[in-house]
Amino acid sequence: MMDTPLEKVPLLERFVNGDDTFRNSRFKLIPYISKGSWIVKQSVGKKACLVGQALEINYFRGSNYLELGVDIGSSTVARGVVSLVLGYLNNLVIEMAFLVQGNTQEELPEFLLGTCRLNYLDASKAVSLDEC
């Protein structure tokens, strides 16, 4: 949610109102495993990734929102990393930043969409959508 009009943030406005090709070339994830095993830290890394270049993303645009559905299963490499991470999930602290990448001087600084931290998740306590 923003309190600034979209028009005042040109990079974000292009991302929200642009086509999927533009969005795929700009949606960036920066992952970081702050606590966890060495093997997971090495597998996940902490390099920024243009998600739309590696995974399929479905965009859902409403009158006042943009929702992204990232298909982790669309990449063999991503499936392997996620499978590894799931095995260690309850021993991990995972931090992620989501940005819109700026490619030109006029587009900088990049726009931070949000961050999250996942602390020692217990996948066995996950609730199926069918149960909701």
Number of domains in the chain: 1
Residue 132: inside a domain:
no
Residues 6+ apart with CB under 8 A from 108: 102
Q: Is 129 a domain residue? A: no
Flag whether pLDDT at 8 surpasses 70.
yes
Half-sphere exposure of 23 (CA within 13 A, CB side): 19
Q: pLDDT tens digits for 54-94? A: 999 999 999 889 999 999 999 999 999 999 999 999 999 99
**pLDDT at residue number 132:** 63
User: The whole model's pTM is what?
Assistant: 0.89
Is residue 102 included in any domain, yes or no?
yes
Residue 59 in domain = yes
Strand partners of residue 49: 29
Q: Is residue 130 part of a domain?
A: no
Give per-residue pLDDT as tens, 107-117: 999 999 999 99
